[in-house]
Chains A and B, each alone.
Chain A
Amino acid sequence: MKLKGFMDQAYGGKVRGKKRLEEKKGEFLLGFEDLAQRLKERPKSAEVEALVPDDSEAIVDLVLSASPKDRREEMIWGFLSGLAAEMRSEPLVIPPRNYAGLEMKMGTIILDGAAPARAGASGEANKTRSAKAHHLGERMSGGRLVVRGDAGDYLGQEMAGGGIVCTSCGDYAFRKMAGGWGVVGGDAGNYLGVGNSGGRIVVKGRAGARAGWLMRSGRIGVGKDVGEYLGLMMKGGAISVGGRAGSRAGWRMKGGLIKAGGYGPEAGAEKVGGRLLRREDL
């Protein structure tokens, strides 16, 4: 008897493994909620792809008609938006929602309009939260994401390729970025490019505190002033600031380069390695 027969007997044919997903490919989906029900607790991009129809317009319909209720459904919606963009030759224009362009590999998404409120949620907190979409372009490895408006927190987190353009962004933008590029037309929040190991970030306006914290490689350029603790404990890469850096820039830095128009108090305190330069010295 083959091992599969043995296992089939042991489980009485109740477990069929992941083949179930493949077999269901092309089956009629009643809508986004139906799709979400068929997926397990922590769905992956490949599992979503295995269930959705091959037709790009059908996927776009799913994306536009969806009202994700919780974080899991938002992630499923994010995978769907990335898949839709990959299958279309022209840009996909959709309203901004959390996780838009999640794990996108190619194509273009334009996020236009106000972020809709999460289905089933209510209250003042939700209104504030839904004002900006978070986790946009997370883990993307290719393609373009254009945000016509302000992005929320965790923009381009863990991205490895592709590019993101937005007007402004919240905290933790481009965190753990490994590749690709990001352009912020206005200001960025705190913790810009934390733990980066590659990629390029340009912020035209100001950036908050701790930009380039634990950065290992890559480049960050900020047009105006930045907050305190710029390049905190950074090991490599380059940060260029057009304006002034706040206090304790380059604190405990071990490598890399920081260039700024001026520095606040205690710049380079407890520095082990790397260089801290003034623009006027260059």
Chain B
Amino acid sequence: MHDPLRKIDDLVDALEELRLHVGSADLQVGERKVNAQLYISLANACLRNRAALLYGGMGANKTTLVNLLGSAFTGLPFDEVENLMITGHPEQTEEKIVGFIDPRQWSCPPAPSTGSSRSSSRPGPSNFEEANSIQVLWTPWARSTWKVINEINRFPSGKQNLFLELIQKRKVSYAGETLDLGNTCYFATMNPDFSATYPLDEALLDRISISVPATQPDFLASLALAEREKEVCELAESLPRLCAEEFEALPPMVAAVDLESQVELSIISLLRDFTLCERAPAFDKTQLSGGSKPSRGLCAGCHYFNNPEVCCWQVDEGLSDRVRQDLRSYTRALALLLGLGSSEEKIEVLRAVAPYVIWHRVSPNRTMLERPPYYGARRLQYVKDLVEKSINRTLNERGEMNMIFARAVDGEISPREAVEELSGFDDPIARLDYARALERMV
């Protein structure tokens, strides 16, 4: 087996040389600049059971890039990978997506095995009644470990729920039969709202681990694309391909990347910064519903309201624990891909990755978003700025209060003394998390 990381580097070079992907270097990780669309897709390919959403207008190389990567990572020809993909439209049916009942089971001898389904090992039609089950022919998409859902927002809400279940349970059911999906890479693409689109369900959005905007090629990229004379499917044959062994070796390599205390602390504090709310039940912003939102006047008169250093009032939603898992996974994956190993470098990776993990899950405060430099449109930049503030605050300003809390938890000082000392820190985490935890210990 070759080094899969080296092959991925070759793949990146080949995509550029063959003019198959020519995006600008818009993702800064420390000193290095890379293309966000490409590297976040690559990071997702190194992980399993995480879903990456590529968001952007038509012709931004979303679907093609994902299929090219699918071809390189699964070793299948580009045409076959394209055939595996499912595309959203209002008439799309569950049968076309996951599978349908095999009609042959009632008219002919047992069909050959069709995948890893439980149904495939079931008895044939002769004893069907006894087994009380039927045979399902699962679609190639359902059986594939590289699943692409094209134009996900053109699926009606009922079909969107199917994906929600699929990503959550890692199983797909049809006619009472279940197919175990195993470890799978999920990719989805989405166009901005057109007339024939449906709003994405919030629960589904929360299960989408990362979302990256795909932009149109700029002037230089357009010049480079003009040099491409062959069709994509022809050029795709020249791409380096990973063998199955190399593809399977990637998730354990990502899992072996160690996240230092500094990174773990920044991730937890980031989540708490977005989730803590003094006025929400149990101080948890994910408990808010209906009209009780920061954007609907919840924060009026609150001590933290209008404080630009505090994140809570600047977004409506809190972040679920899935975000923590996603932040850890993508930080590890991108650090592995870029060969960044020190704690400081991983903090830079976290700074780069976190906005893409969070921005599609929250609604920014309209008043703030509509001001320059966001002009109501730059949601990702808005979340980037909040992430930056939170991480800087954790690393530079929260040291003393974190140490007081740690010493109290470890029994070096009394919880009462620690609460008194923490009362001097005007920080939501100290006031709402630490003080409460210590009061329970008193």
Answer whether residue B255 sits at the interface, using C-beta atoms and an 8 A cutoff. no
Closest to A4 in B: B406
Contacts of B424 in A (CB 8 A): 44
Contacts of A121 in B (CB 8 A): none
Contacts of A15 in B (CB 8 A): 399-400, 402-403
Q: Output the least CB separation between B202 and chain A (Å).
A: 33
Answer whether residue A65 sits at the interface, using C-beta atoms and an 8 A cutoff. no
Which residues B359-417 have CB closer than 8 A to chain A? 395, 399-400, 402-407, 409-410, 412
Contacts of A2 in B (CB 8 A): 406, 409-410
Task: State whether A3 and B262 are in contact (beta carbons under 8 Å apart), knowing that A15-B400, A15-B402 are contacts in the complex.
Answer: no
CB <8 Å contact, A17 and B407: yes
Q: Contact flags (1/0) for B228-260 with A, using CB distance below 8 Å?
A: 000000000000000000000000000000001
Task: State whether A3 and B410 are in contact (beta carbons under 8 Å apart), knowing that A10-B265, A17-B404 are contacts in the complex.
Answer: yes
Answer whether residue B421 sits at the interface, using C-beta atoms and an 8 A cutoff. yes
Contacts of B410 in A (CB 8 A): 2-4
Interface size on A, residues (CB 8 A): 16
Residues of B in contact with A, size category:
10 to 19
* Count of chain A to chain B residue pairs whose CB atoms are closer than 8 Å in the complex: 54
CB <8 Å contact, B262 and A10: yes
Answer whether residue A272 sits at the interface, using C-beta atoms and an 8 A cutoff. no
Answer whether residue B261 sits at the interface, using C-beta atoms and an 8 A cutoff. yes
Which residues A1-33 have CB closer than 8 A to chain B? 2-4, 6-7, 9-12, 14-19
Contacts of A10 in B (CB 8 A): 260-262, 264-265, 402
Q: Give the CA-CA distance A2 to B406 in the complex, in Å.
A: 8
Q: Give the CA-CA distance A2 to B395 in the complex, in Å.
A: 19
Q: Give the CA-CA distance A64 to B171 in the complex, in Å.
A: 80
CB <8 Å contact, B399 and A4: no
Contacts of B265 in A (CB 8 A): 6-7, 10
A-B contact pairs, 20 of them (CB 8 A): A2-B406, A3-B405, A3-B409, A3-B410, A4-B406, A4-B407, A4-B409, A4-B412, A6-B261, A6-B406, A7-B261, A7-B403, A9-B261, A10-B402, A15-B399, A15-B400, A16-B403, A17-B403, A17-B404, A18-B404
| Complex A-B, nearest 7 residue pairs according to Cβ-Cβ distance, in ascending order | A15-B399, A17-B403, A9-B261, A10-B261, A4-B406, A3-B406, A7-B406
Apart from A4-B410, A9-B261, A14-B399, what 11 extra A-B contacts exist at CB < 8 Å? A3-B409, A4-B406, A7-B261, A7-B403, A9-B262, A10-B260, A10-B261, A10-B265, A10-B402, A11-B402, A11-B403
